[in-house]
Structure 1
Amino acid sequence: MENLPMRLRPATTFAALLLMGLPATVSAQEAPLRTALDGTFAPHAMPTMSGGVEGFNVDLVNLIGERLGREVELTSAQFSGLIPALQAGTFDFLAAPVTVNEERAANLLFTEGFMDTNFAFVVPTDAPEYADLDAFRGKTIAVNRGSAYDSYLAERADEYGWTVESYGTNSDAVAAVLSGRADANLAGATVAAWAAQKNPQLALSYEIETGLVWALSFRQDSTEMRDLVDRAIECLKIDGSMAELSQKWFGVEPTTGATIVTPTPGFGVPDFPGYAEDDHQPSCDGLAS
């Protein structure tokens, strides 16, 4: 079979072996990890010219496979269908970045956070420094209509006195900043960093901490696999791989203590359902089968 970019392979490899009459002796430990994400969420996953997908989460899940000594079968699909497919057993876990909240944690099992789910402003490179939200008073801020960032700005418009201009896509909101029709754009921190990295006329500005994280999601009966992938994420944090991915895809050097470079005690996200206290020490030893 032709090697597709970033190990994007059909999800029928194992079944094909059985149909060809090959011995069905592949153990669960040796079987590929079946995972999926939304391939249109740049810079976490986006199409390549050759028909594959690339991005932060594509690299992340392949590094996890390397640390565990397992092949990865990565499927690109619409986000709305990912969780139902996971629950149906189509995938072992989701490589998509999913924000951990009470509702989701009541139905899914999560690894520890691999990144903080923060908001960030993008401004022109010649703009003054914005040290806090007060600095945006009286400014016009462009945002993707109907997004969490749109709601955040609208709910605080009276308090901070900014004008919110909503656009059909975040790309249109970024274009408003580039054309001078808006003073700033608010989006997810990684999307904002990507926009600044791709547009020399833009700069990453003030970041709003939400207290939430992105994590990889599993079915609730997949505790053993969740814990194993959690340990692989810890390995990537302590061996410098996560910091390298941040530089590569966001152009950002993680700060000390940020979730992307700081292992979380136990397994899962503390204070949410599914979290398991454990005193294991983060390590890269003993992960591969």
Structure 2
Amino acid sequence: MAFSSVQAQETLKTALDGTFAPHAMPTLDGKVEGFNVDLVNLIGERLGKTVEITAAQFSGLIPALQAKTYDFLAAPVTVNGERAANLLFTEGFMDTNFGFVVAADAPEYASLDDFKGKTIAVNKGSAYDSFLREKEAEYGWTVESYGTNTDAVAAVLAGRADANLAGATVAAWAVKQNRQLKLSYEYPTGLVWALTFRKDDVEGRNLVDRAIECLKIDGSLAALSEKWFGVAPVAGTTIVTPAKGYGVPGFEGYVEDDHAPSCELK
């Protein structure tokens, strides 16, 4: 489906994993809510369109996109070289950093070195688990893996672990739900989350990219960060800083362009 036809549509179809809190999670009435749900609905508002959101398993999202079931994906997808070779991405809407969670009365940790000798709880088999184990010998920390990140956070609350490591937004959500916890050191990965399109939909990607720029400059994304993560974005971070051109610089599919970010999208 070329975007020349999508642009004329009243409704855009998108999908995400509805179990990835706080980006998307089920509501009591069977719908989904969360940061990415609000994000794509705001994009629809800026473009003057209704967005139809489907919650599905993450593993099936990309095949369904390629089959043209959806116009784009609302799920937060980390942009990397392998994915960029097969998909088209908007500019990043958020940095995909790692975040440590500690007890509210814990000391301040300002680097990975500060966690030397500590016990860190993590979701078994996750990217954060792999990260900790790869650096276990270097930093001398003890890694305790749990079946869910909720269980790993509970280990911190119970005093069985000094910290929990997860994605920065998941970490912020855990802290937002429990005042016995606080956010600690955030490890920068240098990667971003973006919205996903098919390779042949350059025009669609570019239009939604511009809508994301609008949400950055009009303060909407900062407001969503406060709402869902309880965090005010720092100046210069991806969530409040439009990127030059279309897509993610340094990856296949990026188009250098000198357009000025604005909310004049129609």
Q: Same fold (TM over 0.5)?
A: yes
Matching residue within 73, 79, 84 for 2:52? 73
1:63 aligns with 2:42: yes
1:230 aligns with 2:209: yes
Counterpart-to-counterpart distance in 1, 2:9 and 2:19: 30
Structure 1 residue identity aligned to 2:9: E
Rg larger for: 1
Helix, strand or coil for the counterpart of 1:210? coil
Query: Quick check: 2:13–2:71 contact (8 Å CA) kept in 1?
Result: yes
Aligned match of 1:152:
131
CA apart distance, 1:29 = 1.2
Counterpart-to-counterpart distance in 2, 1:236 and 1:134: 36
Counterpart-to-counterpart distance in 1, 2:6 and 2:157: 54
Aligned match of 2:140:
161
What's the Cα RMSD here?
1.0
1:201 aligns with 2:180: yes
1:69-218 counterparts in 2 under 5 A? 69-218=48-197
Please identify runs of 4+ aligned residues in structure 1 that moved more than 3 A: none
Counterpart-to-counterpart distance in 1, 2:225 and 2:19: 19
CA apart distance, 1:30 = 3.0
Matching residue within 256, 259, 266 for 1:280? 259
Q: Cα 1:151–1:264, aligned 2, differ >3 Å: closer, same or farther?
A: same
Structure 1, gaps ≥5 residues long = 1-25
Query: Quick check: 2:7–2:204 contact (8 Å CA) kept in 1?
Result: no
CA apart distance, 1:28 = 4.9
Structure 1 residue identity aligned to 2:23: H
| 1:47-77 CA-partner distances (Å, limit 9, x unpaired) | 0111110000000000000000011111000
Helix, strand or coil for the counterpart of 1:194? helix
Structure 2 residue identity aligned to 1:235: C
1:266-277 counterparts in 2 under 5 A? 266-277=245-256
Structure 1 residue identity aligned to 2:132: L
Aligned match of 1:47:
26
Helix, strand or coil for the counterpart of 2:99? strand
Counterpart-to-counterpart distance in 2, 1:231 and 1:183: 42
Helix, strand or coil for the counterpart of 1:244? helix
| 1:53-103 CA-partner distances (Å, limit 9, x unpaired) | 000000000000000001111100000000000000000000000000000
Structure 2, gaps ≥5 residues long = none
1:240 aligns with 2:214: no
| 1:27-60 CA-partner distances (Å, limit 9, x unpaired) | 8513311000000000000001111100000000
Alignment: residue pair count: 262
